[in-house]
Amino acid sequence: MEMNLDTIHPLQGCWDIALSSVKAHALDAAIQLGIFGFLKNPTTAEALAEFGHLDLANTGHLLDMLWSMEVLTRRGVGRSWVYGVDPKLAAFLVPGEDGYCGDALVHRLQSLRQFGAQLPNLLGDGAHVPQAPQAAGWAQAAEVQIGQEQGAVTVAAALACVDRLQGLTGARRFLDLGGGPGKVAVALADAYPQWQGMVFDLPETAEVAQRIIHRAGLEQRLESRGGDIGHDRIGEGYDLVWCSSVLHFLPELSRVITKIRDALVPGGYFVSVHAELPSGREAAARVLPYYLPLLMRGRRVWPQGAMIDLMRELGFESITSTELSYFPLAPAQVVIGRKDQS
């Protein structure tokens, strides 16, 4: 092989992958040590080390690492570096800010690490048989990480998607199916003052949503119902069913989508936001790191286009499918269909 000094070794990609775990640990440590809260007002490694009783030299090294990762800013003041939280991330990383997502990030970092430890086992005897929904786990997730990610990401994405739907003026009824803590439903009710809605989720999670609806003062227009999408009634007469990141967890997709269709009024919209497995490598590289853990634990992620085919088969019309980059962790697909008018 001909080599110049800037030739990149074929193994560099693999080394980069190995090194990215150091970045993950640095981010995890920074959140758990409360570093972003302290750096809300930019300051030096010395001040942070003194405040947190940390080793000064290693605090400096960690801050430089976070700066190199574009999580912190760094500027020279006299003979010292002053570090601050990168302005585009401050709303999400500084505790107390509206979009704070630190606990969700720590949860993501830890659960991905846990998956890594389980991966060899999942290829052998531990290969997963789909489980019944773990209700307590979902309720806990709704309280913290799903709630934070809805506030920081999903709500804005949902409002942008719903804004594209034609003809939903006036009094309308919507269902947020598998809505978790219900912040999407709350945002829709705020944005469309004539709409009434329901959050449907497993009973313990529906209680979390009920508390959030109560806190938002929207009990007159929003309700929360507990049940299992697979077995229980989800109501009827909806102009819109919004369902994001839920279908992966349900068996018998065709039965669930039939149920959704039957719950819609003629011409009503079904919006599903879910991941699809792209056929191209570049797109797969963005989707698979997040969805491999789900796939290997027996959840479902469909090949690109499969949801459109199924919705068409089940009588939906005017179906569109658009990639949504603004979504937690990895791009999702927004597939929209209308129940036929007859």
Ligand X SMILES: C[S@@+](CC[C@H](N)C(=O)[O-])C[C@H]1O[C@@H](n2cnc3c(N)ncnc32)[C@H](O)[C@@H]1O
Q: Contact between 147 and ligand X (CB under 6 A)? A: no
Query: 41-59: string of b/e by CB count within 10 Å (b at 16+)?
Result: ebbbbebbbeeeebeeeeb
Pick one of 202, 240, 275, 307: the residue that binds ligand X (CB under 6 A).
202
CB of residue 199 to ligand X, shortest distance in Å: 9
Convert residues 95-134 into a mask of x (bound to ligand X by CB under 6 A) and - (unbound).
--------------------------------------x-
CB of residue 153 to ligand X, shortest distance in Å: 9
Q: Contact between 323 and ligand X (CB under 6 A)? A: no
Of 43, 47, 90, the residue nearest 70 (C-alpha): 90
CB of residue 205 to ligand X, shortest distance in Å: 4
The pair of three-digit structure tokens given for residue 100, joined into one six-digit string: 């704070």
Q: Which sign does the torsion angle of CA 160, 302, 134, 230 carry?
A: positive
User: 316, exposed or middle or buried, with CB in 10 Å at 0-12, 13-18, 19+?
Assistant: buried
Q: Contact between 152 and ligand X (CB under 6 A)? A: no
Q: Contact between 272 and ligand X (CB under 6 A)? A: no
Pick one of 67, 115, 249, 290: the residue that binds ligand X (CB under 6 A).
249
Q: Which is nearer to ligand X, 56 or 165 (CB)?
A: 165
Q: Contact between 162 and ligand X (CB under 6 A)? A: no
Q: Contact between 301 and ligand X (CB under 6 A)? A: no
CB of residue 195 to ligand X, shortest distance in Å: 18
Pick one of 43, 145, 244, 304: the residue that binds ligand X (CB under 6 A).
244
Pick one of 245, 272, 304, 333: the residue that binds ligand X (CB under 6 A).
245
Of 68, 104, 103, the residue nearest 86 (C-alpha): 68
Q: Contact between 143 and ligand X (CB under 6 A)? A: no
Q: Cα separation of 302 and 265, whole Å? A: 27
Of 251, 296, 295, the residue nearest 277 (C-alpha): 295
Pick one of 42, 230, 235, 315: the residue that binds ligand X (CB under 6 A).
230
Phi/psi at 249 (5° precision)? -95, 0
Q: Which is nearer to ligand X, 60 or 178 (CB)?
A: 178
Residue pointed to by tokens 């791009």: 331
Q: Contact between 179 and ligand X (CB under 6 A)? A: yes
Q: For ligand X, how many residues bind (rule: CB under 6 A)?
A: 20
Of 191, 91, 196, 198, the residue nearest 148 (C-alpha): 91
Of 140, 142, 152, 42, the residue nearest 100 (C-alpha): 152
CB of residue 328 to ligand X, shortest distance in Å: 8
Q: Contact between 150 and ligand X (CB under 6 A)? A: yes
List residues near ligand X by CB under 6 A: 133, 138, 142, 146, 150, 154, 178-180, 201-202, 205, 228-230, 244-246, 249-250
